[in-house]
Structure 1
Amino acid sequence: MPDESERTPAARPDTVGPRPTRRIDARSLRGLAHPLRMTILELLSLDGPATATGLAERLGENTGTVSWHLRHLAEHGFIEEETGRGTKRQRWWRRVGVTNELNTADFRDDPDTRGALSVYLHELVQQYFNRVVTYLNEDWDDGWRSAGTIADWRDLRLTPDQLSALNAELAAVIARHTAAAPDTGPAPDALPVVVQLQSFPRKARGTA
């Protein structure tokens, strides 16, 4: 399953074309699967580069703790130091410009990674939920409020191949809207937009 939360980095509107893809392996999954590390990576992905001090203030954490998790994320290739910015005491970190993809089938028969996979998936779903709650609790003007949507479709009956094809088509639609026009850039009134897609089978349940 692709990690859709990391597909489009914020604060980089000049990014054009597809980014390199990295398939998450067992070692990198275990390095990422921690609630605070996943939150740090989310903030760097959505809001751009930051320092340990800035992240600690946002998260209500100790700067030393955040610094340790930043180094851990860098060791596993998820983030990197932004060279030429900051000082030895105040280092800036940014998310590495690749799309991380995770295939749960890779870890199906690996008991040592099962716990990390569970943590990762549950934290990812919690991030999705928190973003929706934040959007609902914020004050938006009528234009943005009517443009956003929270919807689901419950009347589909698909085979695995059909579901895969549906997801591929939806991803292609998002890809067409991802890159800013190379000549003009984003419109003056454009804001970062998060598109969350969850598609999964549901086992039929009879009624008593």
Structure 2
Amino acid sequence: MTNKRMNPKVDAYFTEGCMRCPLGGTPNCKVHNWQEELKKLRMILLDCGLTEELKWSQPCYTYQKRNIVLMSAFKEYCAINFIKGSLLKDANGILIKPGENTQVGRQIRFTNVQDIVEMEPTLKAYIYEAIEVEKSGVKPNIKKNPEPIPEELQKKLDEIPALKTAFEALTLGRQRAYILYFSAAKQSKTRESRIEKCMQQILNGKGLND
């Protein structure tokens, strides 16, 4: 099935995956587990008039250059991720917080194409609502790093400008996940060890669980 709004750059995602893990470009890539489901979701998103782009190595659907929905594949399910999902009414109670510390984003998860087919009218309603939320200009209430940056991390950020730049370039959710992970260690040595192990991942622009 083709659609004139398809972006050729996104086609590579379906054949190679996001390439953010060692499984990218191999038969074991998680994207291959959900081909039918992802392609059906792609058609639904394009039918809603969104522009298809490739951002963060994933299909991203935008309205007037503003991000509305990301599409992604995981081991147990595939999903569409509403960037400002917390602002949606969620009349059907189907939105899920991707992580315990997620503030704004919300997911709808799928494990078979039949569910997507049956939910298509509902999904389109949610997508159109997300577009209206974006058009309205309403901003989500985001707590910017409500947890203090641990002293050990701040020291590293001050010592290594590239690390500071990379950390600040991460989404607030990814920054927060790192801060919570580092702060959870009771001993300073353990916090330092965790930071050392995650430095390259931060420099690569990846979140804790990417």
Report the TM-score, using the length of structure 1 for normalisation.
0.26
Structure number with higher relative contact order (C-alpha < 8 Å, ≥ 6 residues apart): 1
